[in-house]
Structure 1
Amino acid sequence: MLSTEEEAVIVAFRRYTLLPLDDCLYALQPTIPHLSRSSLHRCLQRHGIGRLPDVEGDKPARKKFKAYPIGYFHIDVAEVRTEQGKLHMFVAIDRTSKFAFVELHEKATTAVSADFLRASPQCF
């Protein structure tokens, strides 16, 4: 069973990255080791984000990213609010393979950011 904090992380990660279910699972399992595909799916359904939004329709067309070689990462930090307070979600996403690396920290300091940057290449 997922805690409220874990569900908040899952929801924030999905809304931020818009990655498919399996990609979310692989990216989040190191952070939430007991996360299964079915529990992830149920969590996303519960929060109304089980399906990714359609890219066609009345929404403005998104520009495609320029083609990059594998190893070009988009790195960002997002704040995740939970019942216990807030966490900072550090995310590195390879723009070509869509592989994602995520870590949660209580503070978003320069030292934490530097540690995240040093840890990211080891995962890829």
Structure 2
Amino acid sequence: MLISLHKKATTTPSATTTPAVRAAIQRSQASTAALSRELGINPKTVAKWRKRETVEGRKTRPKEPRSSVLGEAEEAMVVAFRRHTLLPLDDCLYALQPTIPHLTRSALHRCLQRHGISRLPDVEGDNPTPCEYICKIWTSEPDRFIVDPIHQMPGLNT
């Protein structure tokens, strides 16, 4: 039986209503009051598990994450500003704080993460790979890489 647990949930069956008890509640024909007395749980708990089709607990996280600091219009403004300017996080913060005074660095970062724009795109050509750099130097300055076989011979080199 697969049980969906949140990150900080204990994995031991210490709850009064384990998945086995929940399944028994759903299969039972006894009254809600009789079951609650027999199992030592609240009648509302029995009613709750009878209504559900599965024995797994529901997720407690919000279906759609949203900001508790920024409103929808402010969040849209932050996203549009970042996509238009491509400024780093701190520069965005300093530019947007006069417009949105309650904006914090962490709230800005969470907003950008939600929209998938927290990392700036890599600029092509700025950082060549070591191989590309060596090839570029090799072709632009061939005199720099002259190989003299006499210097590689053992013994006296005069």
Give me the TM-score of the superposition, normalised by structure 1: 0.45
Give me the TM-score of the superposition, normalised by structure 2: 0.35
State which structure, 1 or 2, has the greater radius of gyration over its C-alpha atoms. Answer: 2
More RCO (CA 8 Å, sep 6+): 1
Higher helix share: 2
